[in-house]
A = this chain, B = another copy of it.
């Protein structure tokens, strides 16, 4: 078997065999297949795609490229949620402890901020002392004892996926439905889940900007997961503006904690509840949608969710008392970006809003860059709100003047103010495999 011949086959639009896919992934991980051959192969996949069967084989190869978590003996189902990423998406910080507080075990391997999107792991790391780089043994112990852990990807799990992702990032081969699908599913299935809820974002701040692409990705992921006998539900949610009001790291933890205490923004709560409903459904612990909603509301109200969050923070070495006065961790340099006109907020380019967070140091341009946990912003006006010329649109927490200026430019560019009241946008666009 020659690597070039396999690349050529894909380049010419032909299907690959299980052995050929295994050959590539094994040799790539071992270093026998150089980066440049894999890069050419990945671009050929962006071009020609992969069949469902090929994607299943690829997912399997990535999944078994390292160790996997084995906790089948534990009582309670293991369910996870994955989001395709966006701006202000702090759902995991609320949803994971909420559902875990109801006895579902959640071994969540999360991502870091990259490009215009934020990352749950970076947000969590704004809590002093909290560690996200956990060994498989630690993850296993946390799942047993606490029922919940949110950890950074480790080299022990799906090492081939990790190596491949780093290469995709620098070769513009990220945007391919089969590659995204295999990458996400391999990562998620490596922790031995019983079911998975996918939050596929769509809109100007999402990876899949238009709803058709988001549906295609969701459909593909659900089908591949089906083929791998892993019950999966995909929810397509809106990302045509940042979720909630806060964007950043410490800023988002503030908002997540408020939400766990029942004082969160409506949109964040709505998405959290919808995803939670499907997680309970996969766990088999609710009779129907209404029952699930009531259980979730109760766990929020009686403080169970907040206590589970504190328990997780403590277990991962974080300073729980810091959560009470967490606003202090947000930068004291505050300035407002004001509206250049009066009227309705009719459009917010959320990709630009994400880049504004990167400009403030809250995100990263490249894998390996450092992140400033104290910066970010609060949105004072969202889609459909009215504003007036000179009235604040966004409150910015910044580090230095230059970064504020850059962010201000991006934010002003992102906001569209006009006279006509925009139609209300749905928050939940579609559910694949709904009740």
Which residue numbers of A lie inside 8 Å of B, CB to CB? 3-5, 7-8, 11, 34-40, 42-44, 46-47, 167, 169-173
A40 touches B171 (CB 8 A): yes
A39 CB to nearest chain B CB (Å): 4
Interface residue from B7, B38, B170 paired with A172 (Cβ < 8 Å): B7
Closest 5 CB pairs of A and B: A43-B43, A40-B171, A35-B36, A36-B39, A8-B172
Chain B residues positioned under 8 Å from A36 (CB to CB):
34-36, 38-39, 167, 170-171
Residue among A3, A7, A39, A170 with max Cβ neighbours from chain B (10 Å): A39
Q: Residue of B at shortest CB range from A10?
A: B172
A8 CB to nearest chain B CB (Å): 4
Beyond A34-B35, A35-B35, whether A43 also contacts B172 by CB under 8 A is no
Chain B residues positioned under 8 Å from A7 (CB to CB):
171-172
Beyond A35-B34, A36-B38, whether A4 also contacts B170 by CB under 8 A is yes
A46 touches B172 (CB 8 A): no
Bound Cα distance from A348 to B11, whole angstroms:
27
Chain B residues positioned under 8 Å from A38 (CB to CB):
36
A170 CB to nearest chain B CB (Å): 6
B4 touches A37 (CB 8 A): no
Chain B residues positioned under 8 Å from A4 (CB to CB):
169-172
As for how many copies of this chain the complex holds, the number is: 2
Q: Residue of B at shortest CB range from A43?
A: B43
Bound Cα distance from A170 to B33, whole angstroms:
11
A95 CB to nearest chain B CB (Å): 32
Chain B residues positioned under 8 Å from A172 (CB to CB):
4-5, 7-8, 11, 40, 44
Bound Cα distance from A389 to B262, whole angstroms:
91
A173 touches B40 (CB 8 A): yes
Bound Cα distance from A11 to B174, whole angstroms:
11
A170 touches B37 (CB 8 A): yes
A178 CB to nearest chain B CB (Å): 15
B35 touches A43 (CB 8 A): no
Chain B residues positioned under 8 Å from A171 (CB to CB):
4, 7, 36-37, 39-40
A432 CB to nearest chain B CB (Å): 27
A43 touches B167 (CB 8 A): no
Beyond A4-B171, A172-B4, whether A40 also contacts B43 by CB under 8 A is yes
Beyond A34-B35, A35-B35, A38-B36, whether A11 also contacts B43 by CB under 8 A is yes
A139 CB to nearest chain B CB (Å): 31
A392 CB to nearest chain B CB (Å): 33
A6 CB to nearest chain B CB (Å): 9
Interface residue from B8, B39, B47, B169 paired with A39 (Cβ < 8 Å): B39
Chain B residues positioned under 8 Å from A34 (CB to CB):
35-36
Chain B residues positioned under 8 Å from A39 (CB to CB):
35-37, 39-40, 43, 171
Q: Residue of B at shortest CB range from A11?
A: B172
A7 CB to nearest chain B CB (Å): 4
Bound Cα distance from A319 to B169, whole angstroms:
56
Bound Cα distance from A39 to B167, whole angstroms:
12
Bound Cα distance from A172 to B43, whole angstroms:
12
Bound Cα distance from A171 to B40, whole angstroms:
6
Chain B residues positioned under 8 Å from A8 (CB to CB):
172
Bound Cα distance from A35 to B7, whole angstroms:
16
Residue among A3, A5, A37, A172 with max Cβ neighbours from chain B (10 Å): A172
Q: List 26 A-B contacts (CB under 8 A).
A: A3-B170, A4-B171, A4-B172, A5-B172, A7-B171, A11-B43, A11-B46, A11-B173, A34-B36, A35-B35, A35-B39, A36-B36, A36-B38, A36-B39, A36-B167, A36-B170, A37-B39, A39-B40, A39-B43, A40-B40, A40-B42, A40-B171, A40-B172, A40-B173, A43-B47, A44-B46
